[in-house]
Structure 1
């Protein structure tokens, strides 16, 4: 399988952070969550896009294609996955890897491990997981399933794992020190992320 395209999911409402763009929150020294996520994902994929809704101009400095949800109503991350699959189809790509814009320290071997786990699958569909459970915004998604996903979303499906399980999806388990998929949901999480980032800088 060719190295897939990357799609950063930033289409949520950030209600626990008081709304706005979590991706643009400062980690330290003017570096945003999105800067950190781009830096981590870009070396792992062949090209990169951002799934976000609203005025795309607020992300102009990142020089990425901005892909809005094609389904109205903020129906969850699967809508962002679908937007990414439609973009990838237009690029002639076979698959995408998605990551969440509020998870700044995900593994730097994410794509490699997802692809290795997909070996032997007729349809390469894999979600990242840790021993504590799955992380459904981090996954490998085949372009061939985009019409099936569009139909499922149109029929009211919203739960990622419900759809991936129905498609025979696999899990790529990441284990190691700490939580590789720690994400920023609250102001307290942001402070924790700033400390982690400061220690790594």
Structure 2
């Protein structure tokens, strides 16, 4: 959280807080500085991907409530966090047309090219399984785009389709289903890259990884 607040302060005024990351300020001192800085200003702050209600409470406290029509927009995949933050706008899934465009763009690098006739039906089934969730479509599209032309067979696409499990059309982002979608992409990797990813998962998010240490692992 301390790193987050320092980043927020730096983005609010890059010149004034140019060296904030080197400062020895604690979390409370950074929050106090943010509140003072915003006290008499009209501001729009966008915070992406809040993961916990307690985290939101900390962030909310740091953003001074004033009478200058300031606004805070947040994104989250967790409904009760969104409800605690305020008015909720729930994103709709992509339409069939937009899902198809994104899928084709990912596989063929153009939305105007479609799978050959023998693959069209199975590609539509794959899209239905993805349920209009962009991350699912991009993940499976990327998996298929990495294959050579010889590997683009009905048998292989059917195997991918069967691996996807139930479709994601239940109106919200089902974490278990998304993990299943992502695991299909992971399972398709060669063994040495699987091992590499497993080692990477040992490190916290945004951690600076020493190349030599990772190679030795």
TM-score range, shorter chain: under 0.3
Greater share of helix = 2
Q: What TM-score, normalized to structure 1?
A: 0.26
Q: What TM-score, normalized to structure 2?
A: 0.25
Greater share of strand = 1
Q: Relative contact order (alpha carbons < 8 A, sep ≥ 6): 1 or 2 greater?
A: 1
Name which one, 1 or 2, has greater alpha-carbon Rg: 2
